Amino acid sequence: MNRSELVAALSERAGVTRKDADAVLSALAETAGEVVAKGDEKITIPGFLTFERTHRAARTARNPQTGEPIDIPAGFSVKVSAGSKLKEAAKGK
């Protein structure tokens, strides 16, 4: 399902226009990005998803073509965890 299909499904299910559904989806994405960028809290939608910023330590890797060691600096990543309702839906229950 791509974005336009998701917007259409949301608008039909919520009984709102596609424009309104798209605006809500955009606002959710922007808000999640801002919260994750700050890194001091996580977003939890109970039973569905949790988004949080995680720290990655610096490490040494190897170039697969040459075998030379490469230093990878520390940085940040995003961890997305599925909630219980989403996990049950994936099992087909």
pTM of the complete model = 0.74
Instruction: Judge whether residue 92 has pLDDT over 80.
Output: yes
Q: For position 40, what pLDDT does the model report?
A: 87
pLDDT in tens, 24-57: 999 999 999 999 999 889 999 999 999 999 999 9
User: What are the beta bridge partners of residue 89?
Assistant: none
Look at phi and psi of residue 47 and say left if phi exceeds 0, alpha if psi is from -120 to 50, else beta. Answer: left
Q: For position 39, what pLDDT does the model report?
A: 87
Q: For position 44, what pLDDT does the model report?
A: 94
